[in-house]
Structure 1
């Protein structure tokens, strides 16, 4: 673990919400863009029969072919890989200039790479990678990405706490089908391994503005009364012992400002609380309208289901035009969000591209 927090005397002092420093104090001037597209590269769901709609382009049914000797012709339609993980390709365009980055890399070493190949995505055109946080289901696909790109340098922006060792420890008698019993230590990222694969690691606690007009939130202020973070089962190693890690302080999101329409917010797991994240993005940018919210909302399971009600109420008040809950959102929250925001809610699926454009200049 990179002991970025020093060696605190008390758990409470370390885990208390903190105000982001520097640029987080005052609004960040976030350039307006003409268009943003978000393509889901890895998620928990792939449905090849979902229909496209305005601004929502589904992967074709026949996407991805692979060798299969049991079929005449020796191949079959493979579709796209779905797994408990998340990755999104984000492209922003202003005028004739565009830039593309990757947000998270999924869970397994090859799912992202396989999906990129089957979708025809050229990862050689990436300007950078951003990691939402250090959990393995968002950081597992770097090997496959490096295989597709070769060992060429690529900026990788992340929070310094992504190197933290973490584990799940459940109370006696309360099991989660963990393979080692009641404890599961999560795989921990290695900076040296990432650098050997050609990634230029850039650590940032504070908000960062990337080329093209994409903002990384930095550490998110925790301001809601109902988003309490991870339960006691989620622990981190502080150098001398395991302690409760409620905040996952490395949790960050992406924010884009579409001209004349508002903010597009892309989350990984939303460990900071998806409402906290949106409010933080609005405070940072001074933009008061939410156009779209895409990614994991972490509302699944007994510890988080009580938060569904107030979360949905807050998001309903924000009135996004598009909401795509994925990954760790959970089916109860999905149903509740679909019922509360029927005109905005869209079913997530690997390979789907969401396109959000600024109003045409001079349009009637």
Structure 2
């Protein structure tokens, strides 16, 4: 599948498990807050502060959402990938970041777990009926639960009727599909080829009247872009398909053998899968690695150890700016790219 190269890709984290207002700009990432240049802290009222005002901060939650901005020439397109866990979390962080959702052209969901979906509720209230397309795998609507030693927790299930009733246009597809005139690829169902990425133990789906094992979560899909002369930029929501499976699938689909950046939930927790995944990722030699959401601190430590120059911690408000030409290191720069005084 020929994926049209693009001139620039910007990825802004709207929902993630981490919020850190003191992270600085480094390399391709600009941070939100006093230590970065992506945007200032908003001022809000407070009865307990002198002058009756304080600063507002971005909220972290167990979920994931990013805004993808793609530029070719003078034209920029915007796509939302996932929507976070709580009804108002996504929209509240968009407001804090002073990002209007009006320019969003489409929404892609990585899979049907609620911590990637429910923030759509607040977005729907703000936008009204815009008939925005929403791309999902058909298994997105499956009823699911997680079974552990303490019992079963049934996950909130997305409602197709409610989402369509809110004015969205649902597009179901198991196969790969394109958005933005062939510039953004949605992988569809990802081939499981590695023998060590075996899915999520204890995950079940309700099919044909009863609960059945569902470790592979086949609706898990990634987003892929081709940054001209640099390679693939791959975004994962949770990475249930396995990070290496996802990257190999993206290469097979596009024929592009160079990986520039991978960002998102890697679903790496503990056990033998972590070192094997890290070793395989290091062999791919990406320029940027951004583990987020469901990536444990052990896995993050292993990724940093193996890929210290590529590794960047994620936090809500981080804006990763990928360009076709190398960028100057922003660590020695002040706000808006102006060098600090010595």
Fold equivalence (TM over 0.5) = yes
Aligned to 1:8: none
Aligned to 1:194: 163
Aligned to 2:12: 39
Aligned to 1:218: 188
Aligned to 2:329: none
CA separation in 1, counterparts of 2:18 and 2:135? 27
CA separation in 2, counterparts of 1:198 and 1:141? 15
CA separation in 2, counterparts of 1:210 and 1:108? 27
* 1:265 aligned onto 2:234: yes
CA separation in 1, counterparts of 2:61 and 2:114? 12
* 1:336 aligned onto 2:302: yes
Aligned to 1:122: 100
1:247 to 216, 226, 229: 216
* 1:204 aligned onto 2:173: yes
CA separation in 2, counterparts of 1:151 and 1:98? 23
Runs of 4+ in structure 1 off by over 6 angstroms are none
* 1:289 aligned onto 2:289: no
Q: Describe the superposition over 1:137-173 as per-residue Cα deviations: whole angstroms up to 9, x where unpaired.
A: 0001011111221222211111110100000112xxx
CA separation in 2, counterparts of 1:68 and 1:157? 41
Aligned to 1:230: 200
CA separation in 1, counterparts of 2:245 and 2:42? 38
Aligned to 1:112: 90
Aligned to 1:29: 2
CA separation in 2, counterparts of 1:98 and 1:162? 29
Task: Report the Cα offset of residue 309 of structure 1.
Answer: 0.6
Aligned to 1:7: none
CA separation in 1, counterparts of 2:28 and 2:126? 29
1:349 to 315, 320, 323: 315
CA separation in 1, counterparts of 2:3 and 2:284? 20
- Residue aligned with 2:272, SS: helix
Q: Is the 8 A contact 1:267 1:294 kept in 2?
A: yes
1:58 to 22, 31, 36: 31
Task: Report the Cα offset of residue 103 of structure 1.
Answer: 0.1
CA separation in 1, counterparts of 2:41 and 2:320? 18
CA separation in 2, counterparts of 1:64 and 1:205? 42
Q: What's the TM-score, normalizing by structure 1?
A: 0.86
CA separation in 2, counterparts of 1:149 and 1:66? 24
CA separation in 1, counterparts of 2:119 and 2:102? 15
Runs of 5+ consecutive residues of structure 1 not aligned to the other structure: 1-27, 176-181
Q: Describe the superposition over 1:280-306 as per-residue Cα deviations: whole angstroms up to 9, x where unpaired.
A: 000000000100000000012xxx432
CA separation in 1, counterparts of 2:289 and 2:213? 31
CA separation in 1, counterparts of 2:41 and 2:16? 16
Task: Report the Cα offset of residue 250 of structure 1.
Answer: 0.3
Aligned to 2:130: 152
Q: How many residue pairs were aligned?
A: 320
Q: What's the TM-score, normalizing by structure 2?
A: 0.91
Range that drifts further, 74-83 or 306-315 = 74-83
CA separation in 2, counterparts of 1:40 and 1:65? 21
- Residue aligned with 1:59, SS: coil
CA separation in 2, counterparts of 1:152 and 1:248? 30
Q: Describe the superposition over 1:317-342 as per-residue Cα deviations: whole angstroms up to 9, x where unpaired.
A: 00000000000011000000001000
Task: Report the Cα offset of residue 65 of structure 1.
Answer: 3.4
- Residue aligned with 1:72, SS: coil
* 1:133 aligned onto 2:103: no
